[in-house]
């Protein structure tokens, strides 16, 4: 998470949405950088609101606007699946080396998924108060990062370049139509959130 005080903006870091590269590029310009531990780097909206926003409001009487990225749900899960196929995870409970993508997604849709499919939820991460679909001021789609970059360059009045970081291993993966339909039914809010971004 990055906070730009003068520009009154906080960049929240949804896992697997390219924000690690953004943070690397923008950290020198930020007033607050939370890169470790992961629980602070990936602070979800409800925790940000409860702790950080209240702190800002109390200290200065203002609350920064928030910005975040959301990724198409199947693509997001595919990135997690590939990321957890890394050889260094072999034999660990969170490795996906011995399951196919359908198994991974079916496990993800369970109330309490096994460790290999326990990757959180973009919808829960970004949910606002009173069960609002989105709790951030500015939400951008992962497949339209150019719009986010333009927004940040204008808002921060700087030019920046990013390098790919934290990239999942390349794999050809496909979700069967039946499992895709099951995912859309069980995790409808994930798709509703993504499709709400125009």
Distance CA 144, CA 23 (A): 17
Contact 90, 171 (CB under 8 A): no
* pLDDT tens per residue, range 71-126: 999 999 999 999 999 999 999 999 999 999 999 999 999 999 999 999 999 999 99
Three-state DSSP string of 27-51: HHHCCEECCCCHHHHCCCHHHHHHH
Edge-first strand listing for the sheet containing 65-70: 32-33, 2-4, 9-11, 65-70, 138-141
Residue 166 — pLDDT band, cuts 50, 70, 90? low
Domains identified in the chain, total number = 1
Nearest of 87, 109, 108 to residue 98 by alpha carbon: 87
**CATH code of 14's domain:** 3.40.50
Contacts of 89 (CB under 8 A, 6+ apart): 95, 96, 97
- Is 0.85 topped by the overall pTM? yes
Q: Residue 32 sits in which domain range?
A: 2-196
* pLDDT tens per residue, range 8-57: 999 999 999 998 889 999 999 999 999 888 888 999 999 999 888 888 88
């Amino acid at each position: 998470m990055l906070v730009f005080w003068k520009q009154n903006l906080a960049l929240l870091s949804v896992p697997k949405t390219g924000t690690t590269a953004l943070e690397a590029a923008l950290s020198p310009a930020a007033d607050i950088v939370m890169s470790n531990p992961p629980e602070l780097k990936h602070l979800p909206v409800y925790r940000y609101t409860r702790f950080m926003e209240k702190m800002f409001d109390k200290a200065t009487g203002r609350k920064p606007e928030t910005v975040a990225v959301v990724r198409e749900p199947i693509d997001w899960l595919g990135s997690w699946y590939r990321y957890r196929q890394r050889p260094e995870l072999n034999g660990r409970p969170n490795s996906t080396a011995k399951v196919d993508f359908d198994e991974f997604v079916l496990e993800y849709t369970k109330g309490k998924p096994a460790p290999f499919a326990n990757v959180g939820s973009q919808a829960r991460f970004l949910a606002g108060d009173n069960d609002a679909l989105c709790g951030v001021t500015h939400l951008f789609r992962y497949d339209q990062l150019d719009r986010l970059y333009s927004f940040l360059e204008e808002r921060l009045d700087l030019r920046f370049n990013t390098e790919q970081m934290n990239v999942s291993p390349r794999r050809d993966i496909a979700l069967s139509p039946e499992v895709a339909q099951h995912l859309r039914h069980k995790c409808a809010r994930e798709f509703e959130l993504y499709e709400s971004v125009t």
